[in-house]
Amino acid sequence: MDLDLVESHCLDWIIKNKFNRIVIQLKPSELRYSSKLVEGLKTRYFNIESKPLNIYVSQSNTCSVDLLVTQHVSEIDGIIHIGNACLSKPYSQSDKINKPVLFVFVPPRIDSGSIDSNTSSIFDALKSTILQKHDDKASLCILYDPNLIIYATSLERLISRHDLNQHIEVASLSCPTNLWTTTPEFTHKFLSADEVCNQFGYFALQKPVKDYDCAIYLGSSISIKLALMGLKELWRLPCFGENQFKPEQVNLSRLLNRRIALVDRLRDEEELRIGVLITNPLPDISEYIDRFEFYANVRKHTLYFISMVQVIDEYKIGNFDICDAFVIINSCCCTTVLESLIFNRPIITDIEFKLACGFGGEYGGVMWPGSCSHSSEEDIMNKRRVSQVSLALVHTRNELLERCSTSRVNKWSGLDYGGPSEISGDGGVESLDIEEGLAGIASSYASEPLKRTAD
């Protein structure tokens, strides 16, 4: 991280807006820079304004700005979010929670050269592979990891220099509120909701995404949710790592089949126990609860609403072994949380849960019909009868287990046991009733108070 550059951006924003109480949100991997960043900001602010600057640092474990953690600090003026973000706005009933936010995007270190040389390598990789497959009439769009916005803007200038801007469009970032902004050099790519006509996840495009013949994503991995939103062709161009600047075509059919395979494991099942994991950025919970209960009633599923606001991992999910599957809900326009989990039970999104309950919907660029259109009423009734018979067998088995347990002789009696009294020594039975203890330091300080003894 270039601390001098980050400090300059943060300080300019603070002084311009006359802020004094700031919360800085850092990813766990960037917390090591916090002390130097805070010390530098306070020193430079005091030299200009001649008064102290109040800065609070919090760890951000989500892919967007965290409004929950900031509520622990009263009367803050603004939030500085450093690092990657998918620009998803958490749901809030009170406008007091919404604060001005500055996004400082920090590009990952690329060892192969400077920004200009790396941009040239990206452009050469596009020309040698993807552009050769499409003629000049084809329409292409370039998406990117927000932290790579500096490469996206540099690539946009290079495309314009080669007169390809009518053929290739570099997407802008869609900002959900006018209270959010970014550093000055990227403001032209940071569009407010009023300026966005065709939104694609957290991107803003000039045309609907279905009108593009091909999409190229700059970054390590594209979100599953974005990849399955109707793209005709998708390429991924890693900008760091072992395969940097080597475009790889994403097999959208294989990705879709992998997600539908999880849905198929649940589609024909009834009376499952579904864990609904609610995480940050928070959605409108009440709306989701009503909708999910409506879906679940068709299959007679039981829902368990589980709040995991900050961090979701396999260890936390493992505490809910009773659940047959999990659904992740938040107001996020990407699937960072979903992609980070590897578990032995299906973990699906809200639209996938809708399909699993037999409702139709558009997913992966395909309109999926409801399962009821493929089954007659008699088939559905037979399935219900089979489910009722299975439930009756479970009850019968439980009754049998209860009868066996009551017929056993329980040789362990706990406190009912009476043995020879060690206190009296007369072979009597020791009483285990709760009584007032004997006088002594361990049981009664009133009769034998503690006294200090001289050393």
Supply the DSSP string of 300-367, one letter for each residue: T-EEEEEE--S---HHHHTT-TT-SEEEEE-S-SS-HHHHT---SS-EE-HHHHHHHTT--EEETTEE
- 8 Å CB contact between 26 and 57: yes
Per-residue pLDDT reduced to its tens digit, 407-446: 444 443 344 434 444 444 444 444 545 556 555 444 444 5
Within-domain flag for 450: no
State which of 49, 84, 104 marks the end of a domain.
104
Q: Do 83 and 119 have their domain in common?
A: no
Q: How far apart are CA 75 and CA 189, in angstroms?
A: 31
Place of tokens 């790396």: 118
Residues 235 and 274 in one domain: no
Mean pLDDT of the chain: 79
The answer to whether position 379 is within a domain reads no
Residue 188 has phi, psi (to 5 degrees) of: -65, -20
Residue 349 has pLDDT above 50, yes or no: yes
pLDDT in tens, 106-128: 877 666 567 888 888 888 888 88
Domain annotation covers residue 383: no
Q: Does residue 377 belong to any structural domain of this protein?
A: no
The answer on 206 and 295 residing in a single domain is no
Query: Could you identify the residue written with the tokens 């006359």?
Result: 18
Paired tokens of 249? 């075509």
Instruction: Tell me whether residue 430 is in a domain.
Output: no
**Cis previous bond, 281, omega within 30:** yes
Query: Same structural domain for residues 331 and 279?
Result: yes
The packing angle between helices 3-16 and 34-49, to 10°, is 40
> Is there a single domain that holds both residue 67 and residue 175?
no
Q: 172 and 126, same structural domain?
A: yes
Same domain, 23 and 78: yes
Query: Which one, of 314, 331, 244, lies nearest residue 68 by Cα?
Result: 331
Read off the pLDDT of residues 144-201 as tens digits, 9 standing for 90 and up: 999 899 989 999 999 988 888 788 999 999 988 889 999 998 999 999 878 888 888 8
Q: Alpha helix locations (H) across 62-208?
A: 67-70, 115-125, 131-133, 149-161
Residue corresponding to tokens 């709306």:
287
Alpha-carbon distance values, 432 to 109, 416, 422, 435, 436 (Å) = 70, 8, 13, 9, 12
User: Does 8 map to a domain?
Assistant: yes
Question: Do 119 and 93 fall within a single domain?
Answer: no
pLDDT greater at residue 239 or residue 357: 357
Tens of pLDDT, residue by residue over 9-68, are 999 999 999 999 999 998 888 888 889 999 999 999 999 998 999 999 988 877 788 887
Distance CA 265, CA 404 (A): 35
C-alpha distances (whole Å) from 12 to each of 72, 156, 379 are: 25, 26, 68
Q: Domain check: are 15 and 39 in the same one?
A: yes
Domain with 286 in it = 266-372
Q: What is the CATH number of the domain that holds 21?
A: 3.40.50.11840
Give, in degrees to the nearest 5, the angle at Cα 118 between 112 and 120.
Answer: 135
**Do 328 and 358 fall within a single domain?**
yes
Is 130 a member of any domain?
yes
Alpha-carbon dihedral angle through residues 171, 176, 180, 183, given to the nearest 10 degrees: 0
CATH number at 125 reads 3.40.50.11850
Residues 134 and 237 both lie in one domain: yes
Q: Is residue 431 part of a domain?
A: no
Looking at the structure, do residues 99 and 143 belong to the same domain, yes or no? no
Answer yes or no: are the C-beta atoms of 364 and 259 closer than 8 Å.
yes
The domain total for the chain is 3
Residue 99 structure tokens:
């604060």
CA distance 398 to 395: 5
pTM of the complete model: 0.74
Final residue of a structural domain among 104, 123, 153? 104
The per-residue pLDDT for 403 is: 44
